[in-house]
Amino acid sequence: MNTGKIKEEPEVLEAVIIRFVGDSGDGMQLTGTQFSDTSAMFGNDIATFPNYPSEIRAPQGSLYGVSGFQVHIGSVEISTPGDEVDLLVAMNPAGLKTNLHAVKPGHTIIIDTDSFTKKNLEKAQYESNPLEDDTLENYRVIEVSMTSLTKMALKDVEGLDNKSITRSKNMFALGMVYWMYDRSTEHTEDFFNKKFKSKPTVIEANTKVLKAGYNYANTLELIPNAYTISPAKMDAGTYRIIMGNTATAWGFLAAAEKSGLELFLGSYPITPATDILHELVKHKHFGVKAFQAEDEIAGIASAIGASFAGDLAITTTSGPGLALKGEALGLAMMIELPLVVVNVQRGGPSTGLPTKTEQSDLLQAMYGRNGESPVIVIAASTPADCFDFAYQACKLALEHMTPVILLTDGYIANGSAPWKIKSVAEMPEIKHNKITEVSEDWHPYNRDEATLARNWAVPGTAGLEHRVGGLEKDKVTGNVSYVPENHEHMTKIRAEKVERVKNYIPDIKTEFAETGDLLVVGWGGTYGSLHSAVKELNEQGYSKIGLAHFNYINPLPKNTKEVLSRFKKVVVCELNNGQFSKILSGQFSGISILQFNKVQGLPFGNSELIQEFKQLVQ
């Protein structure tokens, strides 16, 4: 090997898609996150997709125990983590077998050959070694003895056992990829120094292996040159890479600051929503009160109590937890208190696919309570706008005195993207209906004429004593009432209150075509996939295809029917069996709604969407 190789000038690329795969103990999530953060620091636009098993530690080497992290970086607009992979880093045979289909023919695979033992090949159900047959003949394969080279790099570091040494091999892979794509190791070295400041041996080990991988790639003749991706053109401002769950938590913090209320979170840990709880716990200095309840019901019940006491109250969960919270959510709707319920959707039903994405809780959010129990339902679209819709959920709940369900999903909650940092001063005003003074004609169910929101009288305020509970209320006094006409009046006014929210939300706007042959409709976390596919089709000359993506589900924007009517065909794309299409079909007669659905625990792929849309406009 020519160790004196001269590094050529890096080849400039617009974008690249990289996937790191291995056992759940191989550190693929950390590896992918470090590469993503480094690229974001460089100024690239970015989208990520972590994909890992639901078991805490699946059997080593098994096909279903593969953990992966995909990152798409570019100097151009990046809307999705991408479909076909330019570079696959496979730390074991199982990772190779379950991900080979995603690699573009002719592109690169880096393989840790030390892991391709007879035992691991059998676990991955290989009949022969793919490194020795024709399995990989259509790819550019770089075979590296990563485990052996990691041990060699750490032979002089004292205080490390064999397990700790082997665990560092992911940094060898990361170092190689840093060299290949002209990235600096500096950010990751700083990360080591902060993360392991009390463990100098760990810092030394990871830093050495990272540099060893970088230098190995630099001298490896199989890699003729490095590549580089220029910084993306973005609006001026200060950016940071942010995950959807973190953005959601920060949106709540901003809403509490803007409204002047203390923030209360009552929650029970559940995948993939738990990180919102973890993030808010870090910010007690902002007055956050975070309560980890004993179960889902206690979580929402504590939040209702906090709302009754005058706090901005939220509770977080995923699909199974939303089912458990249903009765208490009906209570919050009945007594008309502001409450935000976050549902980070995952594959169902029952325990289902805890770490995989899905959009199958929409009808549960809309109708999953006994009686006539309407609530506001909104959905975030990207990791970054989880911040905006968490903020908006609080604004709607406080200004309209009713619960709001905020839907995100595992894809955007665990994914990350650049986010332009905002100040609280530039966020929309949040008003609330809290009253502190007694008037002669005060009653707990006096309502704002425009919004129908009732008064919010905090317990302990002299003269504002009143009753709350799950029994039907008198329309004025709030006392228990069994009068039939009163019940019908209250049922209708609670529904009308939610319906009037459409006067306070923006109209739906189409992207690309405003009228034409096909309108692609989506909601929530499918935005990046749909936007990317329709954008590519427009660039190919399909100028009569538009995109309408919904964030407000209940109520729908006022101009929804008018927008749907502008196109010859309407196709609703969802990661479920057609829940939003049922809602649209039920509300708007005379409009034919087509469906394109996927229920695999995975997001839409760009190529499958483009193929479907082309068929619809033929």
Residue 320's CB: how many other CB atoms inside 10 A? 18
In DSSP terms, which residues pair with 388 in a beta bridge?
none
Q: 421 and 251 in contact (C-beta within 8 Å)? A: no
Residue 126 has pLDDT above 90, yes or no: yes
Q: The whole model's pTM is what?
A: 0.93
- Distance (Å, whole) CA 432 – CA 312: 10
What pLDDT does 161 receive? 85
Q: What is the mean pLDDT of residues 571-598?
A: 96
- Distance (Å, whole) CA 156 – CA 98: 36
Q: Which two tokens stand for residue 607?
A: 């190529």
- Distance (Å, whole) CA 74 – CA 387: 23
Pairing state between β 85-90 and 15-23? parallel
What pLDDT does 4 receive? 42
Task: Please confirm whether the linkage preceding 349 is cis (ω < 30° from 0).
Answer: yes
Give Cα separations from 225 to 3, 214, 217, 363 (angstroms). 14, 13, 10, 52
Share of the chain above pLDDT 90, in %: 84
- Distance (Å, whole) CA 247 – CA 253: 10
Helix (H, G, I), strand (E, B) or coil at 410: helix
Residue 11 has pLDDT above 90, yes or no: no
Residue 336 has pLDDT above 50, yes or no: yes
Question: Over the stretch 66-122, which tens digit does the pLDDT of each residue have?
Answer: 999 999 999 999 999 998 999 999 999 999 999 999 999 999 999 999 999 999 999
What pLDDT does 225 receive? 64
DSSP H/E element including 548 = strand 545-550
Contacts of 199 (CB under 8 A, 6+ apart): none
Confidence of residue 8 (pLDDT cuts 50, 70, 90): low
- Distance (Å, whole) CA 166 – CA 160: 10
Dihedral through CA 455, CA 461, CA 463, CA 464, nearest 10? 20
Question: Over the stretch 344-371, which tens digit does the pLDDT of each residue have?
Answer: 999 999 999 999 999 999 999 999 999 9
- Distance (Å, whole) CA 446 – CA 442: 7
Residue 258 has pLDDT above 90, yes or no: yes
What pLDDT does 222 receive? 62
Q: What is the mean pLDDT of the chain?
A: 94
Nearest C-alpha neighbor of 457 from the set 439, 474, 471: 439
Residue 6 has pLDDT above 90, yes or no: no
In DSSP terms, which residues pair with 418 in a beta bridge?
241
- Distance (Å, whole) CA 542 – CA 606: 16
Q: What is the mean pLDDT of residues 564-572?
A: 97
State residue 24 phi and psi, 5-degree precision: -65, -15
Q: What is the 3-state secondary structure (H, E, C) of 439-454?
A: CCCCCCCCECCCCCCE
Question: Over the stretch 435-470, which tens digit does the pLDDT of each residue have?
Answer: 988 888 889 999 999 999 999 999 888 889 888 899
- Distance (Å, whole) CA 587 – CA 581: 10
Alpha helix (H) residue ranges in 126-273? 146-153, 162-167, 169-180, 186-195, 200-219, 244-259
Helix (H, G, I), strand (E, B) or coil at 184: coil
Residue 495's CB: how many other CB atoms inside 10 A? 14
